[in-house]
Amino acid sequence: MAAAEAGKIDGLYDCIKDDPHILDGIDKIPFVDTPLHIAASAGHAHFALEMMRLMPSFSKKLNPQGLSPLDLALRKREDLPRNLEDLYLPNREELSKLRKELTQTIRQLINFDKELIRVKGRESFTPRTLQ
């Protein structure tokens, strides 16, 4: 999970080297924040795509709140302030960078598997599309 938070693919493969079944164990849990959920909500597109290649089932898995990885990324981006002019410059730059990373992650997830927009989560809602 630390590798997913940091977006470090090398860290992911170090974990797999230590325990080749680590991702299978996560997949057996019905509702869980997978490394894909964590990477998607952090805007780590490269890590998220690597995770989707390794464990495609993670992309349609719901977390304990009933959200898919795509939905988490969309919600995180929506929660960011839209008007950044009033913010302190370093915060503005960080938020702008995070918004771009989340948008890139969302687009790459959808490009990888267009069916992700149809994954029904909490209350049978599907992820909101790019605006």
pLDDT in tens, 71-129: 999 999 998 887 666 566 567 788 889 999 999 999 999 999 999 999 999 888 888 65
Residue 68 CB neighbours (<10 A): 27
**pLDDT over 70 (residue 31):** yes
Domains of the chain: 2-124 (1.25.40)
Question: What is residue 96's three-state secondary structure?
Answer: helix
Rounded Cα–Cα distance for residues 49 and 53 (Å):
6
Rounded Cα–Cα distance for residues 92 and 10 (Å):
30
Residue 78, burial from CB neighbour count under 10 angstroms (0-12, 13-18, 19+): exposed
**pLDDT over 60 (residue 29):** yes
- The pLDDT value recorded for residue 130 is 44
- The pLDDT value recorded for residue 116 is 95
- The pLDDT value recorded for residue 128 is 65
**pTM (predicted TM-score):** 0.89
- The pLDDT value recorded for residue 35 is 98
- The pLDDT value recorded for residue 72 is 95
Q: What is the rounded average pLDDT of the residues 56-64?
A: 97
Percent of the chain at pLDDT > 70 equals 91
- The pLDDT value recorded for residue 25 is 96
Mean pLDDT of the chain: 91
